[in-house]
Copies of this chain bind each other. A is one copy, B any other.
Amino acid sequence: MQTLSPELLVQDVAIDFGDRSYRIAIGTSLLNNPDTYADLPRATCAVIVTNTTVGPLYRDALATALSAHYPQIHTVVLPDGEAHKTWQTLNLIFDALLENTCDRHTVLFALGGGVVGDMTGFAAASYMRGVPFVQVPTTLLAQVDSSVGGKTAINHPLGKNMIGAFYQPALVVCDIATLASLPARELSAGLAEVIKYGPINDLAFLDWIEGNLDALRSGDRVALAYAVKRSCEIKAWVVSQDERESGLRAILNFGHTFGHAIESGMGYGTWLHGEAVGCGMVMAARLSERLGLIEPSFVQRLTQLIANAGLPTVGPQLGAARYLDLMRIDKKSEGGQIKFVVIDQPGSASVRKAPDALVAEVIEQSCQPDTAV
């Protein structure tokens, strides 16, 4: 694969929400470039929300770039990790905004991964009933999935992402250079959400991922930029059709019903979100097979790719009953009936119910060590 100059990597994906449309800027040398932020709303204050891991790496560069546009720049540093995606941590943002007398024109910048983005977005949706915010995702998972589409939330002890808002950012800045600082485990977790777009929407992209997995895992910027761009294109198309997930958008949760049960059952932060989704996709593919929708060979192909991406394919042994209980409080459930995203045929997904007994079989099969690839 040829090496491109950083400038050639810069490209935009547009996302259409009428008068709330915005762009996803993808490339290198974006985060630290004042021009990136030139079209944002003006305000007295910009507030950077980040965490203890990402803050030391990029906070100063972002603040310097923003200082071209905002007279005051404040920073809120949150503890790192899914276990902190709580009311208590969210309140740290509100405390800082009010202690600094930030008015309702203040622009928030989410600098970090999915947890920082989800919490900053919900804080922006709620502070004074809504201030603008910008996503500056620094993990692959956040660049390809969570920073795009306006889902914001915090967790509740009884369920993941149960409290939040649909609230669109004013801009998403995917600086591929930040992925260089990502631990291998986090990069793999991000690949789970990249892989997801293949079976639900784009088999040609699935082929491409298989052919470029080594480049992606080794941090090749050109490969990563393409993976981010194609993922954002698919996500932008889906969410612009169905912002509030009354239908189509739910397919983006492929693997997430099982995955959320793993995360919640193990305690948030034990498995990374992308790891739980990777394993959840194996389960959801097996369920699709049991329902007679796809061939075993496609399940095997997907399982192999997930394993090759460095992700778990065997679930934790929580017991089928516990999985089912945890999945019943999934947001897609209706009247206690769990709904699953299944593969109708390779490259196409839909949402449907499934008999508890069949789901339990899939879980038991998927949590046995001998089912590993």
Q: Footprint of B on A, CB under 8 Å?
A: 44, 87, 91, 94-95, 98-99, 101, 103-105, 122, 125-130, 151-153, 156, 158-159, 162-166, 244, 328-329, 331, 333-336
Contact = CB atoms under 8 A, between A and B. Distances in A.
Nearest to A333: B103
B126 A156 contact: no
The 10 closest A-B pairs by CB, nearest first: A98-B158, A44-B335, A128-B331, A129-B164, A126-B163, A103-B334, A129-B166, A103-B333, A104-B331, A129-B165
A104 B334 CA distance: 7
Contacts of A44: 334-336
A149 to B, nearest CB: 12
Contacts of A98: 156, 158-159, 162, 329
A315 to B, nearest CB: 23
B103 A335 contact: yes
Nearest to A159: B98
A101 B328 contact: yes
A151 B129 CA distance: 8
A94 B164 CA distance: 11
A203 to B, nearest CB: 31
B244 A130 contact: yes
15 contacts: A44-B335, A98-B156, A98-B158, A98-B329, A103-B334, A103-B335, A104-B331, A122-B126, A126-B126, A126-B163, A127-B162, A128-B331, A129-B152, A129-B153, A130-B166
